Amino acid sequence: MLAGTAAGVLVPAVGMADSAYAAGLNRQITIYAEALPGGLYGYGLEPGKATIPGPLLEIYEGDTLEIELVNRTDQRLSIHPHGVNYDTGSDGAPLNASFNKPGETRTYTWKTRARYDAGGGFWMPGNAGYWHYHDHAMGTDHGTAGLARGLYGGLIVRKRGDLLPSRQYTVVFNEMMINHKMAPDTPILEARLGERVEWVCVGYGSLPHTFHLHAHRWADTRTGMLSGASDNAQTVDNKNLDPGSSFGFQVIAGEGVGPGVWMYHCHVQTHSDGGMVGLFLVRNADGSLPDGAQEAIDRFKLHDHSGHDMNPDGRTHA
């Protein structure tokens, strides 16, 4: 299984299941925080391999993930998760003095559990879901600079028995950028016809967004899949992606529509006009480009992404 990075380059996901996977497993990894060109920063699994977004981390409910964070920058920074359990020492916030000084190495511990019977007919939820992690200490006491400069990544907590995909991609909407890029330089994410593709969508910044994927749709559930023939969960192809929120889903590439080039974008129209558009390339099953795909990509590269103002009459003006 694979996980996506900023430019659609694939790197191994962390914490993947295997036949010997047991409940309560303790996973230990090292993440390096590093400076990148252009005043940006990223997380990586190896020295010199930091990316934006950082590596997609993945565990199962009941497992613990210990992260040794190595700060290879001259900035104060941390790593803070959503959706998992942690004590104040692993909060990643200056409020709890939980951060890495420049050059410092620190261990953060994230724990998960399955849902459990709380008594009286009530249940407490587990940690399964599509979450994310980010810096919470750079620049300000809330980590505003870290989020603005690329210190973030996707996090999946699975239930055992979940369907596993062939490809995974993390898509982050942050201000007017997708994975810290604007069209026509946004990621072109690829799959072959019929492959199961998992999307992890995350929102940051100060602007409201919605995520829309052309020609594909998913159930508005934890996984994007239906649980059975009687599951009547709403089917969607557009969902709010506001700052701090996240969701994920799986689709079968090209199912019912065939191979081709499909847009994914923010459906706030001024945002898509301004460059919040990327491409999902569904290749033929043999990996070749479908007819018309290269021409569509070339047209996208030539599109005007400078932004427009929309008048009440519906006409757009530069």
DSSP string for residues in 193-217: TT-EEEEEEEEESSS--EEEETT--
Over residues 234-290, the pLDDT tens digits come to 999 999 999 999 999 999 999 999 999 999 999 999 999 999 999 999 999 999 999
- Per DSSP, 100 falls in state B
Q: Quick check: 94 and 139 in contact, CB under 8 A? A: no
Helix (H, G, I), strand (E, B) or coil at 22: coil
Confidence at 159, pLDDT banded by 50, 70, 90: very high
Residue range 105-110: mean pLDDT, rounded = 98
- Residue 126: HSE in the Cβ half-sphere, 13 Å Cα cutoff: 20
What are the structural domain ranges in the chain? Answer: 26-158, 167-302
Residue 255 CA to residue 47 CA, distance in Å, equals 39
Q: Which two tokens stand for residue 80?
A: 């803070």
Query: Edge-to-edge, what's the strand order for the sheet holding 105-111?
Result: 40-44, 26-36, 64-71, 105-111
What's residue 308's pLDDT? 54
Q: Can you name the CATH fold of 167-302?
A: Immunoglobulin-like (2.60.40)
Residue 70 CA to residue 54 CA, distance in Å, equals 14
| pLDDT at 310 exceeding the cut of 80 | no
Q: Can you name the CATH fold of 26-158?
A: Immunoglobulin-like (2.60.40)
177-178/167-174 β-pairing:
antiparallel
Max intra-chain CA distance, the chain: 61
Establish whether domains 26-158 and 167-302 are of one fold.
yes
| pLDDT at 179 exceeding the cut of 70 | yes
| pLDDT at 316 exceeding the cut of 70 | no
Helix (H, G, I), strand (E, B) or coil at 301: helix
